[in-house]
Chain A
């Protein structure tokens, strides 16, 4: 029950961050028309995520007992395999999603090393791995996958401590 409440609070935080980042694309210089055609099907879930790290710290499993709250899953460099801890976490999420079905969005990310487009592909691969695991656990509700590659780090520190936080999938 407590975890649900915290989760709701967390969702609100995410929602407010999304709203903050949701303003339309500015009109470009030189008369360029702004085609801000936000596709309507996923409403408030679309567009801006934060760069500020609010979600990144939320998912850190640093001795936190309520592991079922973790919505961020971490990966090794150039890898998209799920760790045992992530699989356990996803099993709990799957149970939750089956009990309380909702549409989710998985955002894949990479650290800054390597090329940007390869990292976009890698981020998608990571998000797909999470999606496939949820599916294998019986989740049937819609799952949207999007990859930002290295474009949205939660920590721009520039060393392994930061990189390890940036190689992630966020469940929203």
Chain B
């Protein structure tokens, strides 16, 4: 397969202020038992000035953080090939490396271009042959994440999420609330909104262009949507009582949300174009945390209508309500897995709040986390991993866990209290 793949990243460079140059150290708590060993040889570059980012080390860090790979330190490498003719398979076999990535960079008038290849060291064959990627001047990290995505998918068969982003809420030591956008590895943080009053429940539009969230800036809760590219905001609700938990429908046209204007927290839908609200639940209990099914035909939500918080689902066409969880006395904040086979949720087990996944067919619940006070799970668009909020030394941090519970890591936060992660959809075309 001799393919030449060219990808032009959308030049968002104006919106991005690259503040973190140094490599972030992401502690991996737990990885798979037999990680795949891969070497990423330092990329060739003959430019006049040194590159501001080390592509090979970012790719290495991405793959390592996935928990599925063990990477070879450049100090252990026997050779640094960056052309096909320089690859000596034996050098990599000796190190136990099953795969090898090589690449070459050149400066272009507008930024950088890279060619990269992936080799299977064991069977001595080329898997990705001289793929190409171009980026703008500020795009080196995106370039590295893009290469990681391609390598990860070629080896695991699962689409990589290294190019995706996350949004979360930070409370600074000065008690300011900030809505933050960052790469999925926590790098390149940028503040989308600052407020003295609480911010919560960020939700991505399926096209990755807008964030809906709850802000208390008007002295009470209100739902806003904000365009990422321009920062332009629109207030969507201003009702008496709760204005909570916005969740974008899969087609991007409707938000499910919670209002208590009629006395009780109920789930509504809001048609964004027309501004029309439709009430979809009707119960005196608490109904909150709506999340759309993948086909957009039903909405899952948390309700205490049975006495304790449990997860229910309402089919929009006939308003039929079905209870989905029965195991345990606290199940909340549902999110369907991308394959539709499971529900990720907050589950109390032995009095401790964990993230769990319930198999829809069998009803079996599997607890994924070992931390405590876990909340706000948000699944990556490839369905392989999720981020959630937890506490460490009384400080809010973000942590990741794979949906098979085999991989666990923490996202470092330099300061402040972080919570409410929301993982973006895939942001680039394949």
Could you tell me which A residues sit within 8 Å of B by CB distance? 21, 23, 25-33, 35-39, 42, 46-48, 51, 78, 112-118, 120-122, 124-125, 145-148, 151-152, 156-158
Contacts and interface: CB of A to CB of B under 8 A. Distances in A.
Contacts of A148: 198, 216
Given A31-B231, A47-B219, A121-B260, A114 B332 contact: yes
A152 B419 CA distance: 14
B246 to A, nearest CB: 10
A117 B232 contact: no
A25 B232 contact: no
Interface string B1-40: 0000000000000010000000000000000000000000
A118 B190 contact: no
Interface stretch (B50-58, B101-109, B113-121, B237-245): B237-245
Nearest to A112: B373
A118 B219 contact: no
Contacts of A27: 194
A32 B233 contact: yes
A27 B232 CA distance: 12
A121 B197 contact: no
B289 interface: yes
Contacts of B232: 32-33
B218 A39 contact: yes
A117 B373 contact: no
Contacts of B195: 25-26
Ranked 5 nearest A-B pairs via Cβ: A46-B219, A32-B231, A30-B231, A151-B198, A26-B194
Contact of A28 (B191, B245, B265, B302): B191
Contacts of B241: 124, 145
Interface residues of B, number: 54
Given A117-B302, A118-B289, 12 more contacts: A23-B196, A26-B195, A26-B196, A30-B230, A31-B231, A32-B226, A32-B232, A112-B391, A115-B376, A117-B201, A146-B219, A148-B216
B43 to A, nearest CB: 32
A32 B289 contact: no
B414 interface: no
A114 B217 contact: no
A114 B329 CA distance: 11
B309 A78 contact: yes
Interface of B: 15, 175-176, 179, 190-198, 200-201, 216-221, 226, 230-233, 235, 241-242, 244-245, 258, 260, 265, 286, 288-289, 302, 304, 308-309, 330, 332-333, 346, 348, 353, 373, 375-376, 391, 394, 419-420
| Interface of chain A, main secondary structure | loop
Nearest to A157: B394
Given A25-B194, A30-B15, A115-B333, A158 B391 contact: yes
B390 to A, nearest CB: 11
A54 B353 CA distance: 29
B353 A125 contact: no
B200 A151 contact: yes
Nearest to A50: B175
B265 A29 contact: no
B47 to A, nearest CB: 31
Contacts of B353: 113-114
23 contacts: A21-B196, A25-B197, A26-B194, A28-B193, A32-B226, A32-B233, A35-B233, A37-B218, A38-B219, A48-B196, A114-B346, A115-B289, A115-B302, A115-B333, A115-B375, A117-B244, A117-B245, A120-B244, A124-B241, A146-B220, A146-B221, A152-B198, A157-B394
A117 B190 CA distance: 25
B288 A36 contact: no
A28 B213 CA distance: 15
A51 to B, nearest CB: 6
Contacts of B192: 28-30, 32
A78 B330 CA distance: 10
Contact of A30 (B190, B201, B394): B190
Nearest to A113: B353
Given A28-B231, A37-B218, A51-B175, A117 B198 contact: no
Given A26-B194, A32-B226, A147 B216 contact: no
A30 B232 CA distance: 9
Contacts of A124: 241-242, 260, 265
A100 B3 CA distance: 81
A42 B230 CA distance: 33
Contacts of A47: 196-197, 219
B235 A35 contact: yes
Given A21-B196, A148-B216, A158-B394, A121 B244 contact: yes
A25 B198 CA distance: 11
A29 B333 CA distance: 30
Contacts of A51: 175
Contacts of B391: 112, 158
B231 A114 contact: no
A130 B209 CA distance: 42
A26 B373 CA distance: 31
B332 A121 contact: no
A124 B241 CA distance: 8
Nearest to A145: B241
Nearest to A117: B245
B373 A113 contact: yes
